[in-house]
């Protein structure tokens, strides 16, 4: 009987997470937008890594999602 008893806060954090408007919006966006096709479409326009170094560019999927949500 060495099991740990869960408290109310443990229950709320693991099971009873309330879906916010943001969560619903992002879930709907994920199901509606063909992400992979759009990423392949913008691939030629994205910056490449520079041989001289410097800060690496953000990942394409991240930047695409940011731009879409901004618009």
- Asked if residue 38 lies in contact with residue 64, where contact means CB atoms within 8 angstroms, the answer is yes
User: pLDDT higher for 1 or 7?
Assistant: 7
Q: How far is CA 15 from the centre of its chain?
A: 21
Tell if the pTM clears 0.75, that is, is over it. Answer: no
Alpha helix (H) residue ranges in 1-71? 8-14, 21-32, 35-42, 60-70
Angstrom distance (rounded) from CA 23 to CA 40:
26
pLDDT above 80: residue 8: no
User: pLDDT higher for 37 or 13?
Assistant: 37
pLDDT per residue as tens digits for the range 12-33: 666 666 778 988 888 898 899 8
For the chain, give every domain's residue range. 17-46+56-70
User: pLDDT higher for 5 or 30?
Assistant: 30
pLDDT at 37: 92
């Amino acid at each position: 009987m060495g099991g740990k008893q869960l408290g109310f806060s443990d229950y709320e954090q693991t099971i009873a997470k309330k879906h916010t408007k943001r969560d619903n919006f992002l879930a709907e966006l994920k199901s509606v937008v063909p992400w992979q096709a759009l990423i392949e479409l913008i691939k030629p326009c994205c910056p490449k890594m520079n041989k001289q170094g410097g800060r690496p560019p953000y990942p394409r999927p991240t930047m695409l999602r940011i731009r879409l949500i901004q618009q």
